[in-house]
Structure 1
Amino acid sequence: MPENKGPDSRGPEYKGLVLVAEDERHIADLQRRYLSREGFGVHVETDGTGALAAARRLRPAAIVLDIALPGMDGMEVCRRLREEGDWTPVVFVTARDEVTDRILGLEIGADDYLAKPFSPHELVARIKSLLRRAAGPDRDPVRRVGRLALDTGRRTLHVDGRPVELTTTEFNLLAYLMARPGQVFTREQLLAQVWGYAGYRDTRVMDVYVSQLRAKLGPASPIRTVRGVGYGVTETGP
């Protein structure tokens, strides 16, 4: 689990949470180190059952999935996610480099495949490539919901054409929610996705940041609270 320094410690370079499912600790630590250097949050699970539960709970941006996991192998984890309609990018990792394994993995729904030993630089490059493809080449950097226009390239926010100053933390949270209007996220999911702190103990800190955002946005705030679940942004805003 990433070191819990608190949400404000992560800057605008954060690229999302990567779930690493690997039972060999030294390999998992190596992947965590290189992914963290590139701005990714990392959550590690050491068996298939834990990996499947974490994928469902945290909604990572990408998954690095060892095939030979104890309990439930990586193939089964990927198969179940795809059956549930979860198409999070998956990179399979295995000690075997057999063509049949590679074909089966891709047929199940994996997006890429790496055979051990592999360069951690290559793993990072492949994850970045998968996320770029998932985002699409023509994505508009300006996100609009209701009276809000948020520019992720310039990192600016305008409400009714008026600029509103946000902290890095507030901007990252609002950008994540505005990119997914209509969806509702738990506090833990937001901490994991926006800052990479899966398992952060004080999830109520999210309430503080939402309150600060609402105060700055005023009546234009599109953020809604779903009791017993968490937060989301309405499709059209207020």
Structure 2
Amino acid sequence: MLELEAKQQTKISNWVTATWDEFTKITADPAYAKARCYYNNGQMRIETMPVGADHASDNGIIHFAIGLFCTLRGIPHKGLINCSYRKNGIREFQPDISYYLNENLQSAPFGSSVVNLDQTPVPDLVIEISHTTLTDDKEAKLLLYQDVSVPEYWLVNVEKMEILAFKIANRDREKITQSQVLSGLEISILEQALQRSRQSDQSKTGAWLLSQFQ
């Protein structure tokens, strides 16, 4: 508890040991209303870092690209930004973007409450846009998403404009270059879109994506 109290003074920017009750008590504090909160295997992390322009832009490009791809290919989808998921007493996570796809769309959550994973399945795809949290997203969060058996996880490296994508099955992971949950979507196309968005406006990037997906 002393470790947790000490870390609370510095916004708990690293993973620290905590009970579930300690985690829920701290995250209920209004001071963390806009924070992103994670809990897994008796460890918690709260992210309160400001979001820079490149991070925000990449988030928008990836969200737009997936929406465009799904619309053109007729893939039922529901994208959620900064949605919180909770399996009571065990874990909580809040990825930058998450998606329910195809037949899983019927089970997609709604309402203003934290998604209860005891009643709702995990999303088909979770995405972390990583700049200041890159190491954590490659290690602790990847393990978290393995533990919860999310089918696919993408890590967007803001600085390098690269995407690490993983297929997750039976808590094993495999690096992939083509999405398994969005059939036909090449990860390299999204990386090129990120690169183009740094050199031109988003309308031109969107037009280029349209030409690639049609």
Same-fold status (TM-score > 0.5) = no
The structure showing larger relative contact order (alpha-carbon pairs under 8 Å, at least 6 residues apart) is: 1
Q: How does the TM-score come out when normalised to structure 2?
A: 0.31
Greater Cα radius of gyration, structure 1 or 2? 1
